Structure 1
Amino acid sequence: MTELLTRGQGGVAVGVGRTALLVAAARAVETHRPDALARDPLAEHFVRAAAAADRADPADWPVRPGQVPGGDADPLWGRLGRYFGLRTRALDDHLLRSARELGVRQVVLLGAGLDTRAYRLDWPAGCVVHELDTEPVLAFKQQVLDGTGARPAAERRTVAADLRGDWAAALAATGFDPALPTAWLAEGLLLYLPAEAERRLVARLDGLSAPGSTLAYEVKEVDAESPAIRSSPVYAAARERLGIDLVALFATGSRPDSAAELAARGWTVTVRSPYEFTALRGRGPLPEPDDALAANRWVFAERPGAVGPAA
């Protein structure tokens, strides 16, 4: 399995791929909280498999709340981990609303990483979930899933492609139909894309989205090199304790206003702060002085012309 961890630029042992393990560990911890915002019983299997292959890091990463030093006060597994739990729940709700209320049956997870929504969400009949990521990430993920005996709750199709290449052709090869409404999800993806790549992605999604399609993604409202971001305890903890320099991985420079671009293309767009969802759910991270997470925004967009729920 070590080869699956390290092979190619898209593996889960290095770079952006390694952040997928960080999120999986956070979801594992969240799953076992009595007040869990989201539950992912498969998440800890990815962390344990990576630890077994590495024989060290991430062997000491927590997968239970009791293993988090300092509990919620810990900037890494407490605060940042709870943020990932809140984000997971908000995006779960977005996808299920798209399927149940708007009648969307075609779902695409861009940069899917170790996402297990095809397995753990209660999808309506007829839903197809396309998971797009690099081949090494998908291979590692599939090997772990095969070991658990888990079965997806929707039809699941994997798409091995790099978002820097012709990923749309690879998606079409798995049966994606641009004439049908699509629920697109780019969780923790645009933060790492250069500005021009983000613009191209938004334009491509717009061109592939039939009326009734939806889109959700995450952005930062400030430059990733701002002092508040660089000095943030959550990012310092990830760098010093896990060797994951999130700030170095974030795209730098001024960012495009993708929400405004989508609105100009006819989408209905809502931009929300994560702390709005903390208030909504009654749990989750709270604002702090010089708070790097305060710059994060979750964008929800819908192309008018919903088909309505299937009969």
Structure 2
Amino acid sequence: MTALLVAAARAIETYRHDALARDVYAEHFVRAAPASAGWPVRMHQVPDGDANPLWGRFARYFGLRTRVLDDFLLQSVSTDGARQVVLLGAGLDSRAFRLEWPPGCVVYEVDREGVLAFKQKVLDGLSATPRAVRVPLPIDLRADWVGALADAGFDRAAPSVWLAEGLLFYLPPDAEKSLIDRVDRLSTEGSALAYEVKLDKDLLEYRDSPLYTSTTEQIGIDLLNLFDRETRPDSDADLTSRGWSTSVHTPYDFTRRHGRGPLPEENDALAGNRWVFANKART
């Protein structure tokens, strides 16, 4: 359901006159699932438009996130030379199909079997063709995804690019630590990683925020019941201690950079969101 929420947001973003990112596949995922078939996929389908906390501000947040992480991936493969891209908790990500990948890129999509099967069915119906070598890996992140990645041809001696988009705040702290440790062990010099975290001391402080209440009321998803509310590990510092260089940004840094996107507000459920970018230095 959360993957469908993000897909609906990407669909709305796609058809804005000032779109930050475009994903022509997103609306098809939303329409194909009975649970989301009635959700808006165009802004004109939202009666109160951008004033709607869910389909306005929150959807724009996902549009901005998509653009920023698209740029990160393309920068990593185009300028830094990595050719292996691993999407952890890939969900309904369609980057293998919509981004202009350099020759030789391989995109590994790691997620549960049911999610990837649904995505494949929709893409097959559209006769979609990937723009890189695409390798779906139907495995739960609690299982041996490292082994599955190796069996699928992942070369740990070659630079890789990792993305954990909208994933870590659902995981218990020990699971986040384990994931970061595995990414580090699988990454040679020249590799890169981007992930999203929430640094709120108390997520429940924002329970009555417009963003959370509208998501619950309009589509029945209570995000706070899905997020893990234990104290988060300092994965940024962990990576730094392992030889990675990191930078941490708020979404609003990129709103200012692009001239559009969500802005801070009172009782802001996005206040603790951080986007972290890390590179494993070459020696």
TM-score range, shorter chain: over 0.9
Q: 1:253 aligns with which of 222, 230, 238?
A: 230
C-alpha distance in structure 1 between counterparts of 2:282 and 2:237, whole Å: 19
1:201 to 179, 184, 193: 179
Distance 2:71 2:159 in 1: 17
Tell me which residue corresponds to 1:30. 13
| AA in 1 matched with 2:209 | S
Determine the C-alpha separation between the residues in 2 that align with 1:80 and 1:194.
24
Residue matched to 1:218: 196
Structure 1 stretches of 4+ with a deviation exceeding 6 A read none
Identity %: 62
| CA distance, structure 1, for counterparts of residue 135 and residue 36 of structure 2 | 28
8 Å CA contact 1:131–1:156 kept in 2: the answer is yes
Q: Which runs of 5+ in 2 are unaligned?
A: none
1:105 & 1:224 partners in 2: Cα distance?
A: 39
Alpha-carbon distance, 1:226 to partner = 3.2
- 1:156 counterpart SS class: strand
The structure 2 residue matched to 1:61, chosen from 26, 31, 39, is 39
Q: State the partner residue of 2:168.
A: 190
CA distance in 2, matches of 1:247, 1:233: 13
Query: Could you tell me which amino acid in structure 2 is paired with residue 179 of structure 1?
Result: A
Aligned length: 283
1:281 maps to which residue? 258
Paired with 1:232 and 1:258, the residues of 2 have a C-alpha distance of 27
Give, as a single letter, the amino acid of the residue that structure 2 aligns with 1:247.
Answer: L
Give the AA of the match of 1:100.
Answer: S
**Counterparts of 1:155-194 in structure 2 under 5 Å?**
155-194=133-172
Amino acid at match of 2:243: G
Match of 1:270 in 2: 247
**What do residues 6-31 of structure 1 show as CA deviations (whole Å, max 9, x unaligned)?**
xxxxxxxxxxxx10000000000000
Q: Aligned partners of 2:37 and 2:180: how far apart in 1?
A: 38
- Give the CA RMSD over aligned residues: 1.0
- Distance in 2 of aligned mates of 1:113 and 1:224: 27
Q: Indicate whether 1:242 and 2:211 are aligned.
A: no
User: Is the Cα–Cα contact under 8 Å of residues 105 and 182 in structure 1 kept in the other structure?
Assistant: yes
Distance 1:134 1:241 in 2: 26
Aligned AA (1:49): A
**Residue 223 of structure 1 contacts residue 253 of structure 1 at CA under 8 Å; is this kept in 2?**
no
> d(CA) in 2 for partners of 1:180 and 1:140?
31
Query: Which residue is equivalent to 2:66?
Result: 88
Amino acid at match of 1:220: K
Task: State the shift of 1:69 in Å.
Answer: 2.4
Q: Secondary structure at the match of 2:270?
A: helix
Q: TM-score, normalised by structure 1?
A: 0.89
Match of residue 121 from structure 1: 99
Deviation at 1:97, TM superposition (A): 0.3
Partner of 1:233: 210
Do 2:107 and 2:135's aligned partners in 1 also have CA atoms closer than 8 Å?
A: yes
Is the 2:82–2:190 Cα contact (8 Å) retained in structure 1? Answer: yes
State how far apart, in whole Å, the 2-side matches of 1:30 and 1:65 are.
Answer: 8
On the 8 A contact 1:224/1:247 being kept in 2, the answer is no
Contact 2:204 2:224 in 1 (8 A): no
Contact 1:267 1:302 in 2 (8 A): yes
- For normalisation by structure 2, the TM-score amounts to 0.98
> Separation in 1 of the partners of 2:58 and 2:132?
30
Aligned-pair distance for 1:224? 5.3
User: Structure 1: how far apart are the matches of 2:259 and 2:46?
Assistant: 21
